[in-house]
Amino acid sequence: MPKNQRYITEARTLEKSGSTYRICVIDEGVGSSAVYPRELFAEESPIAFTTVAVFDKVKSHFDHLEPWQDPSERKVLSIAGKLVGTPTVEEHDGKLGLWSDFEPRREYEEFFEQFHDVIGMSIYAGAIIAEERHEPTGLPVVEQFVRDPYTSVDVVCAAGRGGRFDEATESLRVIRESFSAPKQDAGKTTAEASADGEKEEKHMEEKLDKLIEAIASLTTQLTPVIESATKTATEAEAAATAEEAVDKYASQVEAIDKAELLPTQAERLKRRAKSGEDVADAIAEAKADKEAALKAVAESAAGSKAPATSIVFESKPGSEKEDWSL
């Protein structure tokens, strides 16, 4: 896209008209993204024909792309409908504008029937921008619309300026444009160059102030999103850790039961497993202790006239004594 060409957005409301909705695609005046001169729509202006052609029978998507997304990322299934018929230039309340009929996608007809009075339509189109910005708003001035495969008139939550999305978009625009290089004019005298230098210095100071304000605004807009995402990630991580601990405990209990240990051994190992300890080695040691104890009992019984009825065995220093009744 050429340096003086960009995508712009501007929202309008819907008005039901039979099976379609009559919409003002765009009209003259100061909008939320740019300024639209009367020449874009006036019949005597050659540009008016281009304006009509750019928006003739274009598609409509649900929502605009995020400011950082490329138009090629559009999804086919996000299409909400299309403009039908040929757009016409009409004058309402003394303002010229481009009007057209919107036809909803068939499966969304009931949706638009219910919500057409509370949602809006917003252009997403390429535009050639004038070198000088509009005073006093500082907005870009559209010289001509440019049609490409991504031109659309999208369904948005609200028409007009004032929403958080518009504020964040504007902040990103200011930040992005703050990094553009200033134009260099050749052939000027020293006095002219000095005067231009002073103007440029003042302009850069103003630009820096706008940049600081834009960053602060964007930070304010994104802080709740970041905090929400961080909280969600933390909760998800905690849930995953808890699930992993439960699975580990269940597998260790299964291993303890398969080892066929004595009840007191099994109970003690399950308590340790429940606390999060890995008891795999302890299970093996308990099995060996049991086998050694049973062997000792058997040998003792073989050399005694009275059979042994129990044996007290202390497996490890500091551990509980086991009373194994036979």
Q: How confident is the model at residue 49 (pLDDT cuts 50, 70, 90)?
A: very high
Half-sphere exposure (Cβ direction) of 278: Cα atoms closer than 13 Å: 2
Q: What is the pLDDT of residue 97?
A: 93
Q: H-helix or E-strand containing 196? A: helix 190-258
The model's pLDDT over 214-262, given as tens digits with 9 standing for 90+, comes to: 677 667 666 766 776 677 777 778 777 878 888 888 899 899 898 888 8
pLDDT at 196 over 80: no
> Do the Cβ atoms of 145 and 160 come closer than 8 Å?
no
Give the Cα-Cα-Cα angle 9, 19, 87 (nearest 5 degrees).
Answer: 45
0.75 exceeded by the pTM? no
Q: Which residues contact 315 (CB under 8 A, 6 or more apart)?
A: 285, 286, 289, 322
Q: Which two tokens stand for residue 67?
A: 């400011």
Whether the upstream peptide bond of residue 136 has omega within 30° of 0, thus cis, is: yes
Tracing tokens 């050399």 back to the chain, one arrives at 303
Q: Do the strands 321-325 and 152-156 form a parallel or antiparallel pair, or are they unpaired?
A: unpaired
Q: Over pLDDT 70: what percentage of the chain?
A: 67
Q: What is the pLDDT of residue 301?
A: 62
Sign of CA dihedral 86, 63, 1, 96: positive
pLDDT at 73 over 60: yes
> Do the Cβ atoms of 87 and 99 come closer than 8 Å?
yes
pLDDT at 311 over 90: no
Q: How far apart are CA 39 and CA 143, in angstroms?
A: 8
89-118 average pLDDT score: 93
Q: Which residues contact 325 (CB under 8 A, 6 or more apart)?
A: 309, 310
List the beta bridge partners of residue 311: 324
Q: Which two tokens stand for residue 289?
A: 């202790």
